[in-house]
Amino acid sequence: MASDSEAVGDLLRAFGVPEDAIARAASRGDPLSAFFESLPVRAAADRTVSAADIEADGGTPVVHVQELVRAFGLPAPEADEPAFTPDEASAFVELWQQRDVWPLEGAVPIARLYGRLLARIAQATIQQWFTVAQPRLHTAAADERERAVATARTFNRLMPVADALLVGVHRRWLEHEAAQAAVRAAESGSAAALLSGALEVSILFCDLKDFTAFADRQGDGAAIRIIDRFAGIVSHERGEHARLTKLLGDGFMLVYPEPTLAVDAATRIINAMRAPNQPAIHASVHHGTAVPREGDYFGSAVNLAARLLAVADRDELLATEPVVRGCPDFEWEHCGGERFRGIADEVQVFRLCPASARSLV
Residue 335, domain CATH = 3.30.70.1230
Structural domain tally of the chain?
2
Check: CB of residue 113 under 8 Å from CB of residue 123. Answer: no
Predicted local confidence at residue 361, as pLDDT: 47
- On whether residue 13 sits in a domain, the answer given is no
316 in the same domain as 218: yes
Looking from the CA of 163 toward its CB, the CA atoms found within 13 Å total 6
- On whether residue 63 sits in a domain, the answer given is yes
291 in the same domain as 210: yes
341 in the same domain as 200: yes
- On whether residue 95 sits in a domain, the answer given is yes
205 in the same domain as 124: no
- On whether residue 45 sits in a domain, the answer given is no
* Rounded Cα–Cα distance for residues 113 and 157 (Å): 27
Domain boundary, last residue among 121, 156, 180: 180
353 in the same domain as 208: yes
118 in the same domain as 231: no
- On whether residue 7 sits in a domain, the answer given is no
Single pTM value for the model: 0.66
- On whether residue 316 sits in a domain, the answer given is yes
Domain boundary, last residue among 180, 209, 230: 180
214 in the same domain as 164: no
Predicted local confidence at residue 338, as pLDDT: 84
200 in the same domain as 151: no
121 in the same domain as 169: yes
Contacts 24+ apart (CB under 8 A), 60-65: 60/92, 60/93, 60/95, 60/96, 60/104, 61/96, 64/96, 64/104, 65/92
> Whole domain around residue 77: which residue ranges?
51-180
Note the Cα 172 to chain centre separation in Å.
13
349 in the same domain as 200: yes
315 in the same domain as 241: yes
* Residue 237 burial (CB count, 10 A): 18
- On whether residue 96 sits in a domain, the answer given is yes
Predicted local confidence at residue 2, as pLDDT: 47
Domain boundary, last residue among 133, 153, 180: 180
The per-residue pLDDT string of the chain (361 residues; one tens digit each, 9 = 90 and over) reads 445 667 667 767 776 677 777 777 777 777 667 776 766 666 677 889 999 999 999 999 999 999 999 999 988 999 999 999 999 999 999 999 999 998 988 899 999 989 888 888 887 787 777 777 767 766 765 666 676 777 777 777 777 888 888 888 888 888 888 887 777 777 766 555 556 677 899 999 999 988 878 878 888 778 888 888 999 999 999 999 998 888 887 789 999 999 999 999 999 999 999 888 888 899 999 999 888 887 888 888 898 999 999 999 999 999 999 999 999 989 999 999 888 887 778 889 999 987 665 555 4
- On whether residue 319 sits in a domain, the answer given is yes
